[in-house]
Structure 1
Amino acid sequence: MPNPHITKIADRLYLGDGKSSRDAQILSENKITAVVSLSGGRWIHWSQPWYKKIIVEGNHLFIKCEDSMTQDLLPELAAICAFIKRHLASGSVLVHCDQGISRSVTAMIAYLMQTYQYDVATALALVGGKRKVKPNDNFKEQLEVWKAVGGNVWTAPGVPKKEYAAFLTKRTKRLKEAGLTGNESVGVTSL
């Protein structure tokens, strides 16, 4: 049986697929006021007038990323967690990716780990108990690093903690094997 388009994970905190972020009825029924989107590209509906009435300017965080074995989400997780925390104070938040099983699950687990001091297994079990999830092995490895660095991958701006540096070394090897450089365009933007 497939996942529903949207699943409540905690009070005012939802996990979903692509449809959950582009369906006015789903957004309205669940009182979603802020959205975190983890996707390979922007979706046209995010710029539509009906959407901007529901998700106002500054309440949409877009993380350009792929569900791949070379994608590095670690530098983005602190911004995602801060965005979720800030917007939960005044409304409901949806975290989504295309299918709602890997990228968005990774971000949700990182938030739960940081907020409730869960380990990866506990947070994964909590989310997996409510929805079918399958973060890829690369993202699971990053969540272990996230736990090890206490939610901060840097010792100073641009200087990775040793656990993150070790992950980056492994990632460099994977990139080389995939014929990539790691300089492919990925980043955080607020809509």
Structure 2
Amino acid sequence: MQSSALFKISHLSTQENHAANADLSDVAPEAILVHCSKGVSRSLTAIAAYLMRKFVLPLEDELNFLRTKRNIKPSANSTRQHEIWEEINYKLWEDDEKRNPKMPYEIFLQDRDILLKRNRLQAMC
């Protein structure tokens, strides 16, 4: 079920230090957000994460909403990160010191490290 608040958004605030806590009720229609020519990587990831956390929105609803606004094709890596973030309720760490990642995030980091090392080794050959 999609949040009706989402469909009132045409632009997102860029003036907040903590965008996830931004109040969008007074955002001017001419305000603008993030530029990305292909909608595949960083810009899409930032907007998707903002929407997920701001509206506690399931990943699939968030992606469906973004597809109504733009032709998007999120990378597999960013999609996986959003799935994990949703699974752990938008909190990556077990502790306030941010030393102990929650298990799903820890597994992601380990898998990512292995992949990066493998790619570096292949690039060296």
Please give the TM-score of this superposition, normalised by the length of structure 2.
0.72
Per the TM alignment, residue 163 of structure 1 is displaced from its structure 2 partner at its CA by 0.9
How many residue pairs end up in the alignment? 110
> Which of 107, 118, 123 matches 2:46?
107
Alignment pair present for 1:83 and 2:12: no
Q: Distance in 1 between matches of 2:85 and 2:32?
A: 22
Structure (1 or 2) with the greater strand fraction: 1
Instruction: Sort the Cα spacing of 1:88 and 1:96 in 2 relative to 1 into closer, same or farther, 3 A.
Output: farther
Amino acid aligned to 1:108:
I
The percentage of aligned residue pairs carrying the same residue is 31
- Structure 1 regions of 5+ residues with no counterpart? 1-8, 15-32, 35-58, 61-78, 181-191
Q: Partner of 1:124 in structure 2? A: 63
Structure (1 or 2) with the greater helix fraction: 2
Per the TM alignment, residue 169 of structure 1 is displaced from its structure 2 partner at its CA by 1.1
Contact conserved, 2:48 with 2:62, CA < 8 A, in 1? yes
Q: Looking at both structures, which has the greater relative contact order when contacts are Cα pairs under 8 Å and sequence separation is at least 6?
A: 1
The alignment's C-alpha RMSD in Å is 2.6
Q: Distance in 2 between matches of 1:151 and 1:88?
A: 20
Per-residue CA deviation, residues 17-65 of structure 1 (Å, 9 max, x unaligned), is xxxxxxxxxxxxxxxx73xxxxxxxxxxxxxxxxxxxxxxxx49xxxxx
Please give the TM-score of this superposition, normalised by the length of structure 1.
0.49
Amino acid aligned to 2:9:
D
Q: Partner of 1:170 in structure 2? A: 111
Per the TM alignment, residue 97 of structure 1 is displaced from its structure 2 partner at its CA by 3.5
* Pairing of 1:147-158 with structure 2 (within 5 A): 147-156=86-95, 157-158=98-99
